[in-house]
Amino acid sequence: MTIGGWIFLGASLTFVWGLTIWCFNTVLRGAKIEPPPDSLGM
């Protein structure tokens, strides 16, 4: 594994994991979709 390989591996993982964690964190802090009145809910 070259230094370039580590850089690309690290940068790619940081990008995809960072974006996903930020997205889910923001989504889970947001409002839920209201369930329809006759639904069971989750």
Which residues form the interface with other proteins (CB under 8 A)? Answer: 1-2, 4-9, 11-13, 15-17, 19-20, 23-24, 26-28, 30-33, 35-42
In the complex, what is the shortest distance from the CB of residue 18 to other proteins, in angstroms, rounded to a whole number? 9
- DSSP of the chain: --HHHHHHHHHHHHHHHHHHHHHHHHHHHSPPPPPPTTS---
Specify whether the CB–CB gap between 41 and 35 falls below 8 A.
yes
